[in-house]
Chains A and B, each alone.
Chain A
Amino acid sequence: MTTIAELPPGFVDKVLSAQSTFRSVMDAMARPGSVQRIVPMAGAPAMMMRGTAAIALTLFDHDTPIWLDARMTESSDVVKWLKFHTGAPVVQDCSIASFALISDGAALPALERFALGSNEYPDRSTTLIVQVDSLAAGRGFELRGPGIDSVATLQAAIRPADLFERLRVNEALFPRGIDVVLVADDAVVAIPRTTRVVNKES
């Protein structure tokens, strides 16, 4: 049984750390494929990367239902840490979640099970935060779309390996869709629903 005193701490400076983290995420979302760094660090429970923890402290609160994948749910520390630091409700039904935290990409549910928004309110969709092995090395991907000056290239080791193939549902669904934030330690890459990805090499 973990007591509150044993939980990893949140940001030292809540205000400026959240601002700095948000700007990294905003830059990532505005420039898909670019690798942004999250500088301010908080304590993170096991299973949660430093970057994921910082994003959680920056964007989650009582207004944002959170869905955790099986591996995150197993760790009672994650649930307690989120509850204590953010107050965000953890939900079982991923179709009503504002954010979904994925630590085991291989077990990512079908994207259609998350909230995709409606044509009238496409913003009412789930943002996936997926922890990946690397955003510096791995397969090469070519990205195109708003925020990208012609073509961006991304080197990443991602599970599930077919994540970008699965994200092609965004093409037909737009303006509905799923936005993804990839996290590897303190590195962040965002793939908003407008980004089209082509495998460069396999």
Chain B
Amino acid sequence: MNAPAYNFAYLDEQTKRMIRRAILKAIAIPGYQVPFASREMPMPYGWGTGGVQVTAAILGPKDVLKVIDQGSDDTTNAISIRKFFAKTAGVATTTATEDATVIQTRHRIPETALHENQVLVYQVPIPEPLRFLEPRETETRRMHALAEYGLMHVKLYEDIARFGHIATAYAYPVKVNARYVMDPSPTPKFDNPKMDNCPALQLFGAGREKRIYAIPPYTTVVSLDFEDHPFEPYRFNAPCALCGAENSYLDEIVTDDKGGRMFVCSDTDYCEGRQAAGHRGSLSAAPYKEKAHGGSNG
């Protein structure tokens, strides 16, 4: 009877104004979590409702949107969100990192270096880096107010005492602009150095936890560590089996029940781009088999 009607980019204008004001404050206070009145979205919590609300508040008709989930453009979450905005905002979408003006991401930063005309929007499950150390919001808020982050260093120290090294592999805490300790969302710590002095604006949205925070472009982002146990990014010691990349973050894929496995780039766009440029890994199809008749590539 009543056709579903919604505003451009789904959210109503009052909600967008509220989110936009929160984004401006978040940029002005790098790393500080700004509370906002998160709305219910037509997808469950945990599917990126925070990132979706931030994207909806900034997105315009001229934007080109890319959505990745663990680096991949092709997973259910990424495709659903991309289609959501293609439908509700009519924006152009892409999988090519360098062509996108807005990139919404779950748990990865693209391998291709970002540029100034881009905004990276992170989906964040738990924005409070101190939450597992101190469950009370009143207390963590005071700890941020006083810049009292000793507890986080104790946690990292306990890692060293127990395992001999800092065993935190993802959601590795960072300090933004030498003031706020911030959760970079569950990105692998491999990605932490990309946040530092990044030319693109980085926005973080946590829907269930109702927080928005930001790292302005060209801002110092330091991974917490100790002098004698400096921060080290981690990746599997192998080249990508499809494109041969030696410097990208790799997913481990189990290929049989006999212990067989392959390592491939988690960033699908980066991997496909390299393969298109002629790079081959140990398990990629031999190029001559794919060569088009009369084609000059290969």
A131 interfacial contact with B, CB 8 Å: no
Neighbour of B28 across the interface among A61, A119, A192, CB < 8 A: A192
The distance in angstroms between the C-alpha atoms of A192 and B25, with both chains bound, is: 9
Stretch at the interface among B39-47, B58-66, B126-134, B279-287: B58-66
Indicate if the CB atoms of B28 and A193 lie closer than 8 Å: yes
- Interface residues in A1-47 (C-beta closer than 8 Å to B): 14-16, 18-20, 22-23, 25-26, 29-31
A120 interfacial contact with B, CB 8 Å: yes
The distance in angstroms between the C-alpha atoms of A114 and B177, with both chains bound, is: 25
Q: Please, which residues of chain B bring their CB within 8 A of the CB of A103?
A: none
The distance in angstroms between the C-alpha atoms of A26 and B8, with both chains bound, is: 19
A28 to chain B, nearest CB (A): 9
Stretch at the interface among B154-162, B213-221, B234-242: B213-221
Task: Report how many A-B pairs have Cβ atoms within 8 Å.
Answer: 110
The distance in angstroms between the C-alpha atoms of A15 and B201, with both chains bound, is: 23
B276 interfacial contact with A, CB 8 Å: no
Q: Please, which residues of chain B bring their CB within 8 A of the CB of A120?
A: 141-142, 144-145
Indicate if the CB atoms of B145 and A16 lie closer than 8 Å: no
For B23, the closest partner residue in chain A by CB is A26
A175 interfacial contact with B, CB 8 Å: yes
Indicate if the CB atoms of B218 and A149 lie closer than 8 Å: yes
Indicate if the CB atoms of A22 and B20 lie closer than 8 Å: yes
Indicate if the CB atoms of A175 and B17 lie closer than 8 Å: no
A52 interfacial contact with B, CB 8 Å: no
Indicate if the CB atoms of B20 and A31 lie closer than 8 Å: no
Indicate if the CB atoms of A146 and B17 lie closer than 8 Å: no
Indicate if the CB atoms of A64 and B21 lie closer than 8 Å: yes
- Interface residues in A108-132 (C-beta closer than 8 Å to B): 118-123, 125, 127
- Interface residues in B26-68 (C-beta closer than 8 Å to A): 26-30, 32, 34-35, 57-61
Q: How many residues of A contact B (CB 8 A)?
A: 40
B175 interfacial contact with A, CB 8 Å: no
Neighbour of A147 across the interface among B17, B59, B217, CB < 8 A: B217
The distance in angstroms between the C-alpha atoms of A175 and B30, with both chains bound, is: 9
Interface of chain A: mostly helix, strand, loop or mixed: loop
For B212, the closest partner residue in chain A by CB is A123
Q: Please, which residues of chain B bring their CB within 8 A of the CB of A149?
A: 199, 217-218
Q: Please, which residues of chain B bring their CB within 8 A of the CB of A29?
A: 24, 27-28, 216
A160 to chain B, nearest CB (A): 21
For A61, the closest partner residue in chain B by CB is B17
For B7, the closest partner residue in chain A by CB is A15
Q: Please, which residues of chain B bring their CB within 8 A of the CB of A58?
A: 17, 20
For B180, the closest partner residue in chain A by CB is A175
For B57, the closest partner residue in chain A by CB is A22
B2 interfacial contact with A, CB 8 Å: no
Known A122-B29, A175-B32; judge A146-B177 contact (CB<8 A).
yes
The distance in angstroms between the C-alpha atoms of A121 and B30, with both chains bound, is: 13
Neighbour of B216 across the interface among A23, A147, A175, CB < 8 A: A147
Neighbour of A26 across the interface among B18, B27, B144, B215, CB < 8 A: B27
Indicate if the CB atoms of A15 and B13 lie closer than 8 Å: yes
Q: Please, which residues of chain A bring their CB within 8 A of the CB of B34?
A: 123
Indicate if the CB atoms of B8 and A16 lie closer than 8 Å: yes
B296 interfacial contact with A, CB 8 Å: no
Indicate if the CB atoms of A61 and B29 lie closer than 8 Å: no
B25, B144, B199: residue with the most chain A Cβ atoms closer than 10 Å: B25
Indicate if the CB atoms of B145 and A15 lie closer than 8 Å: no
B253 interfacial contact with A, CB 8 Å: no
Indicate if the CB atoms of B216 and A30 lie closer than 8 Å: yes
A148 interfacial contact with B, CB 8 Å: yes
Q: Could you pull out 9 A-B pairs where Cβ atoms are within 8 angstroms?
A: A18-B13, A18-B16, A19-B59, A29-B27, A29-B216, A30-B27, A98-B21, A146-B218, A146-B219
Closest 3 CB pairs of A and B: A119-B145, A192-B28, A147-B216
Additional 10 contacts, C-beta under 8 A, given A26-B201, A193-B29 = A19-B58, A23-B60, A26-B23, A30-B27, A30-B201, A61-B17, A61-B18, A123-B25, A149-B217, A179-B24
